[in-house]
């Protein structure tokens, strides 16, 4: 894979943050639709968002080749 340039790292970080926000918004919408509650002290939803966002970001940046 080689050494990453700062430009590629910046792209990965921006796509990761954008993906995490999108996954969180989708999850929040699902929670609202099913009329459920998640306690604010529960770290599981945050871990789930990041666990979903990382592989999606990997596919978008490395396989599809998104460049900013």
State pLDDT tens for residues 4-13: 788 888 999 9
> What pLDDT was estimated at residue 2?
67
Residue 56 above 90 pLDDT? Answer: yes
Question: d(Cα 25, Cα 53) in Å, to the nearest integer?
Answer: 12
- Give the sign of the dihedral formed by CA 50, CA 56, CA 60, CA 61: positive
Number of CB atoms found within 10 A of residue 59's CB: 12
> What pLDDT was estimated at residue 1?
55
Question: d(Cα 56, Cα 15) in Å, to the nearest integer?
Answer: 9
User: Which ranges constitute the DSSP H helices of the chain?
Assistant: 6-33, 44-58
**Predicted structure pTM score:** 0.83
pLDDT digits (tens, 9 = 90+) for 12-53: 999 999 999 999 999 999 999 998 888 888 899 999 999 999
Question: d(Cα 33, Cα 41) in Å, to the nearest integer?
Answer: 21
């Amino acid at each position: 894979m080689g050494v990453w340039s700062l430009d590629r790292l910046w792209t990965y970080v921006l796509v990761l943050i954008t993906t995490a926000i999108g996954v969180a918004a989708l999850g929040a919408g699902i929670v609202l639709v099913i009329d459920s509650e998640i306690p604010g002290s529960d770290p599981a939803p945050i871990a789930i968002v990041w666990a979903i966002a990382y592989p999606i970001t990997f596919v978008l940046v490395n396989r599809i080749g998104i460049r900013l």
